[in-house]
Structure 1
Amino acid sequence: MIPVDGKEGPADVCVIELGGTIGDIESMPFIEALGQFSYRVGPGNFCLVHVSLVPVLNVVGEQKTKPTQHSVRGLRGLGLTPNILACRSTKELEDNVKEKLSQFCHVPAANIVTLYDVSNIWCIPLLLRDQKAHEAILKVLNLDRVESIALEPKLDEWVARATIFDALQDTVRIAMVGKYTGLSDSYLSVLKALLHASVDCRRKLVVDWVASTDLEDSTAIEAPDAYKAAWDLLKGADGILVPGGFGDRGVQGKILAAKYAREKNVPYLGICLGMQIAVVEFARHVMNLTDANSTEFDPDTKTPCVIFMPEGSKTHMGATMRLGSRRTFFKVADCKSAKLYGNVTYVDERHRHRYEVNPDMVPEFENAGLQFVGKDDTGRRMEIIEIPNHRYFVGAQFHPEFKSRPSKPSPLFVGLVAAASGQLDRVLQDCCNGHVVPAKHILSNGSYPSIVHQNGHPKKLANGLSNGTYYANGNGVHA
């Protein structure tokens, strides 16, 4: 594995996350494995950070330590003793609360840190730095005397990014058209990639969730209110994103969303299935191939625009996916995608699919105006599509969201947000000048006053309605 800093050689520290709640039966095998691992590597090579909730009683404002005490007691009963306590609370822990936790949990007070509510999640590393959490970890692992390891974290760029996030005022609305919109975590990687790109473009992200089934004609008859609400959200968006998915439910709605984006010149990004349905839509409504479809949804279609990969097995679904990092070569040098990636020859992106664009139909598509600007090394597998005369109509067979990072947002997501906010020309110019993404360009609207937004949770939708508006605050989304 490659360490997070990208340097060659073995990592100094391996991070293992064990989720769940202490005492849950489903966590027992993993807790036992972790206990045996800690015994095998020995003291000084194992640091256990236990994350626990310290609730606050609203009536009197008292911070209660009992949940953490019981959690630590249960953890110690299973053979694990925490070295550091990371306490989640609505406000900073009081000194007497820390002392109480230290006494009853047998953890030094210096090793107890508070993760309290902040304006955005990017402030959390700054909280940890201010409370010297890094010093506690280095001491437990005996790394404080290793010369090659920096004793103080360099967070100047991170501080700037967190500050910029709180200052954002101008919004950009992106309609997320999917079939799992009832749970925002279903598209968590896509949300994070959008957030990274929106901060890079100095815009406050607003995500409009649109259930693809609600865009279909059948919904207009069965649930006209949901149909109208879905189309109102789609028409009010600055950009449209159709993420990946499986199965035929909601596909017609996604095709209608792609058709609307193409005809109305609305910026569009299709990922995996989102690219495939864009190809099907183009075949149906531009090339007049009304029966065009994917063999995933209609195995007997006479115009198979998207087909099962020839190397895959149609009878055994296990281990038949094209998974992992694959190389995509740009075939059109002057396309938007290539410019966003910095005019490189190729990119390595992560894949997860069984179906692909039918290579036998590619010449027909290209003659009709659909460009396949990215292909694999054989030239037979289509990776990126574009419509040249559109503001931004891009589809990718891979999942660019998987490699997006706060300091290096995905170029295709930056392109979507930039096009949706009227900045694409400038961003493309920045990329052509050597900046893959405009991470350090100045604020285009001057200095903003600092605005703090309280943490929240995904809005609970009434009556099962899957359409709703969410505002990103770095913690995912909040209503």
Structure 2
Amino acid sequence: MPFIEALRQFQFRVGQENFCLVHVSLVPVLGVVGEQKTKPTQHSVRELRALGLMPNLLACRSAEPLEPSTREKLSQFCHVPVANVLNLHDVKNIWHIPLLLLEQCAHLSILKQFQIQPPEPQLQEWAHRAKGWDELTETVSIAMVGKYTGLSDSYLSVLKALQHASMACGRKLILEWVASSDLEDAAKQESPDLYNEAWAALKRADGVLVPGGFGDRGVEGKILAANYARTNRIPYLGICLGMQIAVIEYARNVLGYKDASSTEFDPASPHPCIVFMPEVSTTHMGGTMRLGARDTFFHATDCLSAKLYGAISSVSERHRHRYEVNPDMIGEFEAAGLQFVGRDESGRRMEILEIPSHPYFVAVQYHPEFKSRPGRPSPVFQGLILAASGQLQSHLISH
């Protein structure tokens, strides 16, 4: 309710000619006759009007295209012109939605409300992309090893970044959701079926991705996933916590520090390879959290990550973390083959790691998914898909 009141006040402040309200509503089909029901939309519009808001356009979700009689009925009872009753019915993939809106001249209705002369829409590239997605036949499977796999929206940005990268690589994405806690030895005793399913899904995948997160639940499972990817030469991408657990795994199984951990999970660890490194800033919000866009500088321009980013000296990516790789252990790690190829301007904060002897083992402290866009995928996500689909070397040669 506060949001509706805020919109009402905003509308009053800027004026009707500077305000356009698009009301999204469901038009369900009930009963065996298959009649499209408009009552839910009528009711919600009536409630909005009682609160001082009048929709300019209706965006009606439905399984099938709206019948002309349904549109007429919605127009009459909701006081919206027929041309402003938009239909968003089910399509093969979400890329078709902007094209569907274009077909119904939604852009003209919106611009008319603002009294703006409409330019000619340039959606040829988008149409090609939507059609291309439908025609993809070759697949690539990625195991998403996380803590909240039961709710896919928890990783929505990561999922979209994978889709952008898969599209750019000409592959249809198959996602294997793996709950990290199901990979742990405890799950083998408590839920053997879930344990076996989790490991089977991990082993089916062409690549492994461990996204960011907080807390210690499922961390050991993520470490096992990183170990599996490293030792079996499976393409791996770690993000934020996914980078930190890759470092812990390397410390335990390559450096031999079996009790290595993060001070986030074990403050008394004798080998803390991940430590609390807060950032106190007078210009950036977030308390002690390192938050927002920061520059990462490549220490080796011939490293894989730098090549994927286009052989540039630095990149700006978004961060959200408090813990980082212990700078006092960098020498040991690099002597053992774990290279930190990207660092902050001070050289003390590790941003990107690679294992040069591995086909694709890359982990980043930042969140590259936030800057991924359709037609402009994140380079490290694209690298994962390229490696998982056997196209990485040809891509590097051609670029």
TM-score band, normalised by the shorter chain?
over 0.9
Residues 262 and 275 in structure 2, CA contact (< 8 A), matched pair in contact too: yes
Work out whether 1:274 is the aligned partner of 2:242.
Answer: yes
Q: Tell me, in whole angstroms, the C-alpha distance in 2 between the residues paired with 1:42 and 1:336.
A: 53
The aligned residue for residue 449 of structure 1 is none
Once the two structures are TM-superposed, the CA of residue 356 in structure 1 deviates from its matched residue by 0.4
Query: CA contact under 8 A between 1:373 and 1:386: conserved in structure 2?
Result: yes
Please tell me whether the aligned partners of residues 279 and 289 of structure 2 are also in contact (alpha carbons under 8 angstroms): no
- Kept in 1: contact 2:241–2:365 (CA 8 A): yes
2:171 to 192, 198, 203: 203
Q: Does 2:34 correspond to 1:34? A: no
The aligned amino acid for 1:60 is V
Match of 1:105 among 75, 78, 92: 78
- Within the alignment, does 1:49 sit opposite 2:22 as a pair? yes
Partner of 2:365 in structure 1?
Answer: 397
Greater helix proportion = 2
**Structure 2 CA distance, aligned partners of 1:130 and 1:151?**
15
Look up the equivalent residue of 1:284 and give its one-letter code: R
Contact 2:278–2:323 (8 Å) recurs in 1? no
Please list every run of 5 or more consecutive structure 1 residues that lacks an aligned counterpart in the other structure.
Answer: 1-27, 145-149, 434-479
> Which residue of 332, 345, 364 maps to 1:364?
332
CA distance in structure 1 between the partners assigned to 2:6 and 2:166 by the alignment: 41
Contact conserved, 1:349 with 1:399, CA < 8 A, in 2?
Answer: yes
The 5-angstrom pairing of residues 97-246 of structure 1 reads: 97-144=70-117, 150-246=118-214
Which residue identity does 1:329 align to in structure 2? Answer: F
Q: Which residue of 1 aligns with 2:59?
A: 86
Which range moves more in the overlay, 134-143 or 91-100? 91-100
Distance 1:58 1:345 in 2: 62
Indicate the larger mover: 319-328 or 72-81: 319-328
Does structure 2 retain, via aligned residues, the 8 Å contact 1:323–1:353? yes
Q: State the superposition RMSD in angstroms.
A: 1.2
Tell me, yes or no, if the aligned pair for 2:344 and 2:351 is still in contact at 8 Å. yes
Alpha-carbon shift at residue 319 of structure 1 (Å):
2.3
Query: In structure 1, the residue corresponding to 2:36 is in which secondary structure?
Result: coil
Partner Cα separation in structure 2 for residue 215 and residue 92 of structure 1: 44
After the TM superposition, which of the residue ranges 384-393 and 99-108 deviates more from structure 2? Answer: 99-108
Displacement after TM superposition at 1:42 (Å): 0.6
Post-superposition offset of 1:425: 0.8
Report the 3-state secondary structure (helix = DSSP H, G, I; strand = E; otherwise coil) of the residue aligned with 2:261. Answer: strand
User: Paired residue for 2:215?
Assistant: 247
Does the 8 Å contact 1:89/1:115 carry over to 2? Answer: yes
Report deviation, 1:57.
2.6
Shift of 1:312: 6.0
Alpha-carbon distance change, 57 to 310 in structure 1, aligned in 2, over 3 angstroms: closer
Q: 1:156 to 1:348 in 2, by over 3 A?
A: same
CA distance in 2, matches of 1:299, 1:312: 21
Look up the match of 2:46. 73
Structure 1 residue 311 displacement after superposition: 4.0
Query: Deviations along 1:79-122, whole A, 9 cap, x unmatched?
Result: 00001111111111111111111111111111111000100000
For residues 280 and 362 of structure 2, the distance between their equivalents in structure 1, rounded to whole angstroms, comes to 26
In structure 2, give the amino acid aligned to 1:79.
G
CA deviation string 1:149-188 (max 9, x = no partner) = x522100110010011000111111001011111111111
Indicate if the aligned counterparts of 1:135 and 1:151 stay in contact, CA closer than 8 A: no
Does 1:429 find its partner at 2:388? no
Does the 8 Å CA contact 2:278/2:289 hold for their aligned counterparts?
Answer: no
CA distance in 2, matches of 1:84, 1:325: 36
- 1:303 and 2:267 equivalent? no
The one-letter amino acid of 1:195's match is: Q
Amino acid at match of 2:88: L
Letter aligned with residue 237 of structure 1: A
Partners of 1:312 and 1:40 in 2: CA distance: 38
Query: Is 1:257 equivalent to 2:230 in the alignment?
Result: no
Aligned to 2:313: 345
SS of the residue 2:61 aligns to: strand
Three-state SS of the structure 1 residue aligned to 2:17 is coil
Counting matched residue pairs gives 395
Structure number with higher relative contact order (C-alpha < 8 Å, ≥ 6 residues apart): 1
What SS does the aligned partner of 1:44 have? helix
Q: Distance in 1 between matches of 2:296 and 2:83?
A: 49
Aligned-pair distance for 1:236?
1.1
TM-score calculated relative to the size of structure 1? 0.81
Cα distance in 1 for partners of 2:28, 2:341 equals 53
Q: Secondary structure at the match of 1:297?
A: coil
Contact 1:255 1:277 (C-alpha < 8 Å) held by counterparts: yes
The sequence identity of aligned pairs, in percent, is 69
Please tell me the residue identity of whatever aligns with 2:82: A
The 2-side partners of 1:428 and 1:304 are apart by 36
Deviation, structure 1 residue 134: 0.2
Counterpart secondary structure, 1:128: helix
Alpha-carbon distance in 1 for matches of 2:337, 2:276: 24
The CA distance in 2 between the partners of 1:381 and 1:312, in whole Å, is 14
Give the aligned residue type for 2:108. Answer: E
Calculate the TM-score normalised by the size of structure 2.
0.97
8 Å CA contact retained: 2:279, 2:322: no
Q: Could you tell me how far 1:69 is from its partner in structure 2?
A: 0.5
Conservation of the 8 A alpha-carbon contact between 1:292 and 1:301: yes
Alpha-carbon spacing, 1:121–1:283, altered in 2? closer, same or farther (3 Å): same
- 1:287 corresponds to which of 248, 252, 255: 255
Residue type of the alignment partner of 1:340: L
Q: Which amino acid aligns with 1:379?
A: G
